[in-house]
Structure formats: C-alpha cells, structure tokens
Structure 1
Amino acid sequence: MPFSFLRSSVLAIAALVPAWVLAAPPAVTGISPAGVQAGKSVTVSFVGAAGEPVPQVWFSRPGITLAPTDKPKEWTLTAAPDCPPGIVWIRFFNDEGASDLRPVFVGTLPEIAEVEPNNTNAQAQKVEALPVVVNGVLHKGGEVDAFSVTLEAGQTLTASVESHRSLGTPMDGVLQIATPDGFVLVQNDDDRGNDPQLTFTATRPGPYLVRAFAFPADPNSTINYAGGEGYIYRLLLTTGPVIDHTVPLAVASPTPAPLAPVRTGIAPDAAPLTPVLIDETAILPAAEPSTLLAHRLPLVSHATPIEAAPAEPNTPQLLTVPMSLTGHVSAPGEVDRYRFAGKKGESLRLAVDARRFDSPLDAVLRLFGPDGKLIKEQDDDGRRSYDIDFNQSLPADGEYRLEVTDRFRHGGPRYAYLLTAEPTVPDFDLNVDTNRWTLKAGTPLEIPVTIARRAGFKDEIVFEVEGLPADAEVTLAETKSQAMGDSAKSVKLKIETKRTTPLNVPLKIIGKAGDRRRVADGPISGVSDRITALWLTIVKGS
C-alpha cells in the first residue's frame, strides 16, 4: 500500500555551511542503525553522501527527528515516546537536489548495536537480555556476525532478520543457531522474501550461538559470503511470542476495527489491537515483538469476514459479495471451500493475497460454476508475484464455489491469506517511474504519468499538481486523457518556472474524473512499497 503525502510535512532544519563549499545533492542510500526505540535516541551514520550544504530532512510522519552532530558523518536519530511503531520514510534534500527515500524503523523493544569483532565463535557478542533488536552491518565479504544467547532447556528462541524486504539492502541473509563450538543445529534462508527467520527450542541449558551472514540478493559469480557498508540488518531475538500476522488481514476504513494478532512461539491469549490510520496508512500499536509490516495491510470499505469451520462436513462457507475474507491453509493438503450467489453477466474481481503479508502460501484459486464445472484455475499473478488478481464474468445465475489451496500442498498456522471478491467497477490508477525530480529554472521538466484504466473506464481524466509554488506553471502535453488514443495510457506533465532562488517542495500528482480523485504513486528504491509523497527540487538555471 502506498504511503500518502502528508499535508503538513515534517522538516528537520539543519545548519548551513559556508557558500564556498562545493555543492552536491544528497546521495544517501542507507542509514545505520536502521531504527530506534520509541522514546530513545541513537547515533546513526549514512551509506552514501549527505551532500553539501548540510541537508534538511523530510519524514513521512511526525514523531521522529534527525539532526547533525559536531562530527561530520554522525547524526542523532530520535523517536518521541508516543511515536507509533513501524516504518518511517526519510528524504534528505538541499538546494542541489534530493535523495531517494530511505526507511528507518521505530520500535518498542530495547535495541543494541552489534560490536566488532564478533566474527568467530570465540568472539561472539554476548546478548545479556531478551527480547532485543540488534542493529548490525556485515561490513565486508566473508564476514559472519556471531551472537551468544543463554537459554534454559525447553525455552524457544525466535531469531528474525529485517533487511532486504523492508530496508532495500543488497543482502540475501542466512541465520544459523549453533553450539558454542560451531556445530549448526538449525539454519534458515529466505523465510520472508530474502530475509531469514527461525525458531529453535533448546534441549539443554546453556549458551547458544546465533550467526548471521549473507549472499548477494542479486547473484553474481562470487562464491564467498557477501558484505559491504550497505549490508545493514536488524536482528530480533526473543524467547516470547512474535506477532506474525493479524486476523483480519485487512483494515476497515475509515473507522478501523480491532485486529487479532496471530503469534508464533509461545502464544498466550492476547487482546486485539486497533490499527491507527496515519494519512491512509495502517499503524499497529503493538508493544511486543512483531515481524508484521502493518503498513502493507490494505484498507477496505466492505466486510472483512473470517474463515469459519463448516456447520456440516463438506459444506462450503457462504460469503456475501463484496468482501475480503481472512483464512488459513492450516495443514498440508488442505483445501478451503467457499460459496456465493452470482448473476449471469456479473463481473467480479477475485484476488488472493498471501505473499504481500509474507505468508509462505503459494496460493491457487479455483472458481466453479453453478453446474459444478471448473471455470478458472489461477496461480500466480506474474513472474515475480505468487499472489492472484483477475476479473471474471459469470456465465449464469446460481451458486458459485471458490477453492483456495497451496500449489505444493503445503500448509500450517502461518499460511494465511486474504480472499477478495468484489464487483468490478470502472476506475483508474496513476503511477510515475520515480519519486523525485529536479527542475532547472528556464528549462521545462516533463513528468510522464502512466494511466491504468480498469474495467472499461472511459471518462476523461483531468490532471493537476498540488504543492507547486505560485511562480511555477503546469501544462499538459495532452490537454486531457481520453479513453482512446495515446493519451488513454499516459500523459506528460510539463512544469516550468522562472524562479531565481532554489526551492524544495513535496508534490501530489492528481487525476480527476467526475467524483473520482486518484493520486499517482512512485517507486522506492530496493523495496516493493510505493509512495504518493513525491518531490520536486527547483535549482537555478545555467
């Protein structure tokens, strides 16, 4: 789900440097450590250059600050005590340009820093208390970071790395739990995308090693472990429960209903959590360990039922469309069955989301008609997606059946999914291929906007740009986006200015058609998230 533009952008104003310093735009590609506990401060450094003059900082939501120190390469990251947990996107900018967005986590657990040297079994860094988040870096190729934790017999340890899926690092991590002399007891790779997670129950009391290393997320010809300044990670270590996902897996909007957290490890009954919406993004106020990226929970305005055991064997659960149902393929080979009433000619959007929430389910969805015959079986929405999303016209009046299962007949308590069935409605989406631009005074800037028209949407779309200064003018290469022709799929916004002083402004690109108002989103480097808080830097002309 895209992070939205904040009406009141949060700016941290940094000190100026003398005008004679060679100017350069910020080129920050990572922040280490990549998080801070709410109510605390931590000293951070950057991967890449902060730029000259010293940049200012924009945050996707309030409650967090980042300020320079008296040391050129160190800044202080602070989260307010009431800052909600989760990802905050940060952008650095100065008069020369702006960086891409970089994420930091606001957490609720104690956090410590990895301390070198800890690259051999004998050098393992002792972790004194759990739960904790360890902020580390695999500084160079061949590096293995080792940590020592003490467990009682029968105690269960969960270790989970956060790196590639949310921080956008080049790291394909591996986790091991080993004996003090290095005998590997359990290993995991690629549990949540490229990030590893494992659960281990101690058979004897005493110290155990937790070891982290990585391969490059984009494979190359090397056969050594990978590392570098960008191999930043957050390692969660806990002997208690960890929030894996919620039931439902969708957030009711505009008034969120409580969500029941589903935990791994030792999971006693717990009170439901009510999400907080911050500018159309869900924040889950959980005070305990969690691996759920709550900002990826979709907002929906229809019913969010939960899978129920059938009243009678082999009787599919009755659904009322529209709805988004949360279910689980709870055991290997399980097939979940549902039924709904449909009318001839009715067009429905049918979707199954699982990997979106880091569920291991490789979903298969089957649709059967009133005559019991298979209408469609769908697996994977594309080459890089294991989830499902398609439109289907119903051929007759009657009762239809849906089946959800795993492609390889796997199953378990983490195999959660969100099944959506809703009428297809003509509509449109907008996107751009970057989240920031630089406009030189006196030279026009063209911004291509891609238009995805859905379910036969044929209305004209009128565009506008919010956030521009009064002395900037916006024109369209095409006056309108029509249903036919080249402008149906894309338009070019042309922005010009005669401004003589530099300026940085957040932007929203908006398309309007009747009562529909859609905001364009752009990609964030290294992650699957997209954002509607776009950015424009105006620089002096040559």
Structure 2
Amino acid sequence: MRVGIIGFTFLTLTTMAVAQPPVPQLQAVFPAGAQRGTTVEATAFGNQLQTAFAVWVSGEGVKGEVTKAENNRVQLRLTVAPDAPVGERDLRLVTKGGVSNRIRFFVGTLPEINETEPNNTVAQAQPIANLPIVINGTLNPGEDVDCFRLTLKAGQTITADLMAQRLFPYLPSSGGQPGYLDGVLVVRDNNGRELAFCDDIFHRPDPALAFTAPADGDYVLEVHDLSYRGSVQFVYRLTVGTLPVVTHYLPLGWQAGTTVRLMLSGLMLNGRVLANVFVPPSPPQLVTVLPCLDGQPLAPLPLVSVPFPVAWEVEPNDTPEQATRINPPIGVNGTIYRAGDVDCFVFTAKQGQRFVMETWAWRLNSPVDTVLEVLNRQGNLLAANDDHPDGLKRPDSYLEWTAPSDGDFVVRVRNRLNEGGDGLAYFLVVRPFQPDFEVRVNEDNPRVPQGGTVAIPIAVVRREGFAGEVTVTLADVPSGWQVRPLVLPPNRNDGVLTITVPDNAPLGAIPLRFVGKAQIGDATVTHDAIGLETVQYVDQQRQDVVKTVVLGIVEPLPLRLTTPEAVEGKVGSGVTIAVRVERRGDFKGAVQVSVQNLPPNAKADAVTIGEGQSDGTITVQLAANTPAGVYTLLVQGQGKVGEQNVMVVAPAVRLTVHPAQ
C-alpha cells in the first residue's frame, strides 16, 4: 500500500487545542458518483463539517478538494481520472476534528447528469435528450417524486436500473422497517397512465425494469420511495438506456488464477449470455470481476476465489442415494431450482478427519438463505447449521465437523425460505481443517493529536482449532512514528495497539494497514486486517466492512503521557508502571491516571499526578490466579483544562506475567 497524508499543517505547537473538536459526521454526498474522465461539483451533507479542508477517497484515480465549508454542508470538486478503476469507493471528509465516516461513491463509464427540480409530475418531467445516461437524484423531502421524460420509437426497448439501497444499505429508521430508500420505478404515458411498474427485482430492494415502447412518443420514467418518505440520504443513481442489467449469474466461485466463463442472466440479455473473466489469485477469498459484453464493461460482480478445484452440481441429487460425489478440498456451484429442491453431495472420510463446510450466497447477493446439513449414508442427520456464527457473514452457513467413523457422508444444502428458481445460486466449499485467524480493526476512522498517542481497538477471530498467540502491528510505518504492537495470548481475543505520531505530523488523513502474524505449525502466517464501521440497522447495531481504515491527525492537546515499553512481574505480586505527564502551553493542572485491559483477576487503582508534577507510578496487583503470559496494557490520563475534560492515552505497555515459582 502506498502511504500518503492528505492535508496540511494549520498551526505550530505554540497553539494548543484545549479539547479536540467534534468528529465530523457525514450523511450523504450528492452526486454519489461520476463518469471516468470528468470533474463534478458535489455537495456533502452532515454535521460538524465547518472545518473541512480535504477529501479522502479510497483507491486510485479520484481526487477531491473542498471549495466551501459550512456546519452541515460542504461544497466539493471531485476529479475522476480517465483510467480510474470502475466501481465502489469510500469517500470521507477531513476536518480539524478528524476524518468522517465513509460514504459510498461510484466511478462509472457512462455520461451522467443531475436531476433538476421541480420534476414531481408528468407535466414537470425533466427531458432526457441522450441515452444511455446515469441520472443522479435525491428524494427529499417526503412525498418527493422525480419524473424524467424519454422520447422513444415504437418497439424500442430501454432498461432502467436504480441504485439506492446499495448506496446506503444501513440507515437509522423507525417503525421497525429498514431506513434505506425502498425505491419504485414506474413508466407512464404522456397522460399519466401506468404502463410498467417495479418495486424490487430478484429479491433485490433496488428495482430495475425493461420497457418496450408500444408507439412513437414521449414516456415518463418516475422514481419514488415505496412509502413516499424523503431524506437527505435518499440519494440514488438511475441508469437508463438500451443496456443489459445483470440480475444473477453463474458460477459464484471458481479456482484462483484461471479464466471462467460467466453465464449472465437479467434484462435485455435474451437468456444466458457468456462472458469470460479472469479470477484473481486468493487471498483474498472474495474478489471482484468486471465482465464485458461487446467491449463494454458491465457492473462489477463479486466472486469467490479458491485455491483448489471447482465442480458443478449434477441433478438429480435430491436424496443421499442420488448425491453428486465430490473429493475435498473442493468448491461446488449449485442452484436451488425449485421450491423444496435440496442438493446432496457425497464424500469419503476417515474417522477423526476434520472438515470445514461453508456456503456463499448472501455475501454474493444471491437470495438463498442456506441451511447446511451433514448426514450419514442412511440419511440420519449428524450436524446442521443455518446462519454463520460470524455475524459479518450470516445468513450464509458454516460447519466445523469431525467424521465419527470411516465411510461415506453426505452434505445437503437447502433454502430455508423454501423458494427456488434459476437465480437462487450458492457456492459450497468443503475442505479439511486449516487452523487460521482473522484480524479486525473495530474503529475505521480513529484520530490522534499531533505529538500524541491513539489506541486502536483490535479483535482476533481464531478459527478451526487455532489457539496460538497473535501479534498485530502497523505496516508501512511513516518516519518518526512509534508503534507498540498488540500481543494477544491464547486466552485473549481483543486488545489495543497504540500509535504515537511526532509533533510535526501534518494535519490530515492517512490510510493505515494493520497486519497480524502467528505461528501455525511450522509456518509463520500473516494476514492483513479488515476495518469495520459500526452502523445502525432498524433497532440494532451492525458492523460493516470498509475498504480502508483512515487515521485523522488533529491539533495537539495540552498534555500527553509517556510510559515504559515493557514491565514484568510474577503471579500474585505487584507491578509498578512509571508514568510521566508532559504539560504544554499554560496547562499545569492535576492528571488522573488509570490502567485498562488488565489481565484476568488483576486490579489497579487510579492515581493522581498532582498539579505541576510530572512523574508518578501506578501499580497493577496480580492475583494468585492470574494466568502467566504476555498482556498489553493501556494507560489513560484525564485532566481539566478550563471547563473541559481532556482525555489522553499513553503508548501501550507490554506486561509479562511469570509463574509464581
């Protein structure tokens, strides 16, 4: 990853921030995309945006600048290079308070325009002179309807494909319904008579339709929310033209490093259309491919890339006696063709042999809610799973299973929703156990003051019997930065690593790449971490994967803490940590110091480093039953500057606990 800082320095260390300004909250960006090779004027909406000074966009080929900033609105200029990769990006604003949450921004290949109000009725419909086109619009306020006038010839067929829920899949809501824009497309004649209607397509909340003009004349394409709600976040992208729209495809997975012929189905595809794509090597396991028809790229599609052979299911395979034979490790492409359809696959195992069985469907935008079952040859159920135990991957299925004896066993896949059809596809993986782990960063836009320290929350998910130690650190560390890695022993799955930046670190945004390392058998295994944002969906919080974790560097604070890199002690003893307070500017007040992330059963009382004092100690009392091992402690400090409470963290301390004897 190329590391670069977006931003500039506002001030020297002779000026201090009494307290950090609030973190910016980004609600929407309009338009939510642009054509390659163009520059667009955009507006960002949100809160605490008045100090915005830069734009950060993931990937290559998109640059942005702030032209005007107000509290809840920022004017942007976004420039997309002619060779910018097509597809989804993360866009964030950078302010004096740090880096905002991400908003999805799309790079496309077609010309684009913005809707022009008023266009709520057939009579007010906005004329669309040229096709194909991408129309950027917003449904706001409530009761808003957007209408667009098309002039068509008799027999001319066009498609309309709305992207709305895919822009904002998670939005706060009330009344128990999802908060996203639940779009509707309607085609009307010039008298307002409805000729075509689509609420959703192929179980997808975003609608798409194909319409053939019965006669020469004008027709009106209408967009509105199903419940006629409105919001600044009800932003959409409407693609209109004589264009194919892919609604489903096969296969969903293929062997890495090979070429596969995709079978595409949808609107204006006249049955299944074939397109060759190259499957990138894994990892990562989930990749994106860009099929083309007649030299024109279609929408990017997700695909599972696996390092072993891939097969197809063979019907009939509804019963254990009809099961398709497979030889793990293997991936299998299957389809639930009709309501009640089940697919059976048989393989041979030795007693005690351990397997992982996993389905991919929901993660690939297939509507199948799989149930995965293991049976013996007599049809008796041995194990089953409906939803993946990992919340990021449900409702796909996952099983870890050990063969109880030598012999043949059957894997059965069915749809919990009892629906079927050509597009209800899934990808099944059956492979031997492979102990492994995943690293997750649980904050996607942390911030750190110049000359200060930030604690990055990390979680490790151990899989398939792996119970070893994992070390997590920052890759591509800029000059002058100090990183204290996180070491997670077998009995710990989460903790923090700390990053300390120099006094002259430029204000702005910098992408971070975290790496986890562990010894698994004779191999040293490393994995890049994934970043997660927390989002509100209906009445619950969920985590969603972001493309990059981005750190905001903000103005310095009036105090900072320093600590030793490592301390040690024995079970049942006390361990003393030296803490130094460095006050800056006019701050001379007392600082209360505490320790977080203690070992099991350990205690540490908070201490106060008095007014004008610089040095203090805090003692961690290890219990007689505290397990020996390596732990990462976080020391925090709090001081009052004027009427403001200022919170800071110190560089992490590595604690080694030795056995009592």
**CA contact under 8 A between 2:440 and 2:530: conserved in structure 1?**
yes
Q: Provide the C-alpha distance between the structure 2 equivalents of 1:425 and 1:500, rounded to a whole number of angstroms.
A: 45
Picking from 247, 257, 260, the partner of 1:258 is 260
SS in 1 for 2:490: coil
Return closer, same or farther for 1:258/1:95 CA change in 2, 3 Å cut-off.
farther
Give deviations 1:275-301, integer Å, cap 9, x for gaps: 56899574433456888653x433322
SS in 2 for 1:331: coil
Deviation at 1:158, TM superposition (A): 3.8
- 2:310 aligned partner: 304
Picking from 523, 530, 538, the partner of 2:532 is 523
- 2:516 aligned partner: 511
Q: Provide the C-alpha distance between the structure 2 equivalents of 1:160 and 1:364, rounded to a whole number of angstroms.
A: 31
Q: Is 1:537 matched up with 2:582?
A: no
Q: Is 1:439 matched up with 2:448?
A: yes
- 1:410 aligned partner: 419
**CA contact under 8 A between 1:293 and 1:357: conserved in structure 2?**
no
Q: How does 1:488-507 map to 2 (within 5 A)?
A: 489-497=493-501, 499-503=503-507, 504-507=509-512
Q: Provide the C-alpha distance between the structure 2 equivalents of 1:336 and 1:153, rounded to a whole number of angstroms.
A: 45
Q: Provide the C-alpha distance between the structure 1 equivalents of 2:279 and 2:363, rounded to a whole number of angstroms.
A: 18
Return the TM-score normalized by structure 1: 0.83
- 2:237 aligned partner: 234
Deviation at 1:92, TM superposition (A): 3.0
Between 1 and 2, higher relative CO (CA 8 Å, sep ≥ 6) is seen in: 1
Listed as ranges, the gaps of 5+ residues in structure 2 are 172-179, 536-541, 559-661
Q: Could you tell which deviates more after superposition, 25-34 or 343-352?
A: 25-34
Return closer, same or farther for 1:349/1:315 CA change in 2, 3 Å cut-off.
same
- 1:360 aligned partner: 367
- 1:213 aligned partner: 224
Q: Provide the C-alpha distance between the structure 2 equivalents of 1:494 and 1:528, rounded to a whole number of angstroms.
A: 22
Q: Provide the C-alpha distance between the structure 2 equivalents of 1:532 and 1:541, rounded to a whole number of angstroms.
A: 30
SS in 1 for 2:446: strand
Q: Provide the C-alpha distance between the structure 2 equivalents of 1:67 and 1:513, rounded to a whole number of angstroms.
A: 41
- 2:276 aligned partner: 272
- 2:394 aligned partner: 385
Q: Provide the C-alpha distance between the structure 1 equivalents of 2:415 and 2:157, rounded to a whole number of angstroms.
A: 28
Deviation at 1:304, TM superposition (A): 2.8
More strand by share: 2
Q: Provide the C-alpha distance between the structure 2 equivalents of 1:71 and 1:472, rounded to a whole number of angstroms.
A: 31
- 2:571 aligned partner: none
- 2:475 aligned partner: 466
Return the TM-score normalized by structure 2: 0.69
Q: Is 1:179 matched up with 2:151?
A: no
Return closer, same or farther for 1:311/1:457 CA change in 2, 3 Å cut-off.
closer
SS in 2 for 1:118: coil
Q: Provide the C-alpha distance between the structure 2 equivalents of 1:369 and 1:260, rounded to a whole number of angstroms.
A: 34
Percent identical residues: 27
- 1:135 aligned partner: 136
| Residue type of the alignment partner of 1:347 | R
Q: Provide the C-alpha distance between the structure 1 equivalents of 2:358 and 2:297, rounded to a whole number of angstroms.
A: 26
**CA contact under 8 A between 1:523 and 1:530: conserved in structure 2?**
yes
Q: Could you tell which deviates more after superposition, 417-426 or 48-57?
A: 48-57
Return closer, same or farther for 1:363/1:83 CA change in 2, 3 Å cut-off.
same
- 1:30 aligned partner: 28
Q: Provide the C-alpha distance between the structure 2 equivalents of 1:407 and 1:286, rounded to a whole number of angstroms.
A: 31
Q: Could you tell which deviates more after superposition, 162-171 or 278-287?
A: 278-287
Picking from 321, 332, 345, the partner of 1:338 is 345
Q: Could you tell which deviates more after superposition, 149-158 or 425-434?
A: 149-158
SS in 2 for 1:179: strand
| Residue type of the alignment partner of 1:121 | V
- 1:219 aligned partner: none
SS in 2 for 1:271: strand
Deviation at 1:380, TM superposition (A): 3.2
Return closer, same or farther for 1:525/1:234 CA change in 2, 3 Å cut-off.
farther
Q: Provide the C-alpha distance between the structure 2 equivalents of 1:53 and 1:192, rounded to a whole number of angstroms.
A: 44
Q: Provide the C-alpha distance between the structure 2 equivalents of 1:507 and 1:286, rounded to a whole number of angstroms.
A: 31
Q: Could you tell which deviates more after superposition, 354-363 or 402-411?
A: 402-411
Q: Is 1:324 matched up with 2:331?
A: yes
- Who wins on radius of gyration, i.e. which is larger? 2
Matched residues, number: 520
Give deviations 1:410-437, integer Å, cap 9, x for gaps: 2222212111112222211121321121
Return closer, same or farther for 1:286/1:79 CA change in 2, 3 Å cut-off.
farther
- 2:98 aligned partner: 97
Deviation at 1:468, TM superposition (A): 4.0
